[in-house]
Structure 1
Amino acid sequence: MILIDEWFKMRRFPGIVSRDGPTGRRAGLARGPDVWEIVRDLKRHSAEDDPVSLVAEETGLASELIDLAADYYATFPGEIDDRIAADARAAEELRALAERRERRLSP
């Protein structure tokens, strides 16, 4: 069933693929980063006049690809928001681990 869902998503959004990774399957650009990474960057620049241009400049991606990722997000926001939240949790856990190590190693 999951593969059928992914096939329909890829048909609806040519240029988006599903790929495996350590945290499971996720949507990504066929020749680029995961959709959640692009959306995270768009959200970071949401208060700017043209977030798409800013992300394009930062990443070197064509604005059409950023728009494609944004369109995918508009259709499947929960899927992408879950990935962004998981990344934020993982980053926080790594920061906490680094702080604990530093405290243990401090004289």
Structure 2
Amino acid sequence: FIDEALRAYEHPGIVFRPGPTGRRAALSGGPDVWEVVAALTAVRDEDPALDEEPLLLELSNVTGLTPAQVGVVLRYYAAYPEEIDERIALNREVADREEQLWAAQQKLLRKRKP
């Protein structure tokens, strides 16, 4: 908690929330930092030619955040990229596992022909 308090002080607008996968950095009153960074990656992948200002505007449009809020998130990510990248990877693994379980469940529920 001390580390989180210091980080929140260093990055105004960032808070820490509990969750099933542990505590995570989030924008106060907004999404988790990892969600915005994942959206940034998706926007970049969709249009790699975007320069800084158009990229920030598109990210604002996609997330519904103001450019200032996006700036808060990106500043935190610049300071702690490993933490956020790890969270993104963990969420991707969980999503993949859940998809596999869903597919297995659907296979079990399908009617078998005699």
TM more than 0.5: yes
Give the paired residue count. Answer: 105
Cα-to-partner distance string for 1:68-107 (whole Å, 9 max, x where unaligned) = 1111111101110111001100110111011101111122
RMSD: 1.2
Q: Which residue of 2 aligns with 1:24?
A: 22
Provide the residue aligned with 1:82 in structure 2: 86
Closer/same/farther in 2, CA of residues 93 and 25 from structure 1, 3 Å limit: same
Cα contact 2:39–2:63 (8 A) shared by 1:
no
Distance of 1:102 and 1:20 partners within structure 2: 32
Partner of 2:74: 70
Separation (CA, whole Å) in 2 of partners of 1:48 and 1:19: 34
Q: Is the contact between residue 56 and residue 70 of structure 2 (CA under 8 Å) also seen in structure 1?
A: yes
Q: Which runs of 4+ in 1 moved over 4 A?
A: none
- The answer as to 2:59 corresponding to 1:55 is yes
Structure 1 residue 11: deviation in Å? 1.0
Alignment gaps of 5+ in structure 2:
none
TM-score relative to the length of structure 2: 0.86
Q: Tell me the distance in 2 between the aligned counterparts of 1:31 and 1:74.
A: 20
Higher-RCO chain (CA-CA 8 Å, sequence separation at least 6): 2
Cα distance in 2, alignment partners of residues 20 and 94 from structure 1: 21
Gaps (5+ residues) in structure 1? none
- Identity of matched residues, %: 38
Bigger Rg, structure 1 or 2: 2
Report the TM-score, using the length of structure 1 for normalisation.
0.91
Alpha-carbon distance in 1 for matches of 2:79, 2:40: 16
The amino acid across from 2:84 in the alignment is I
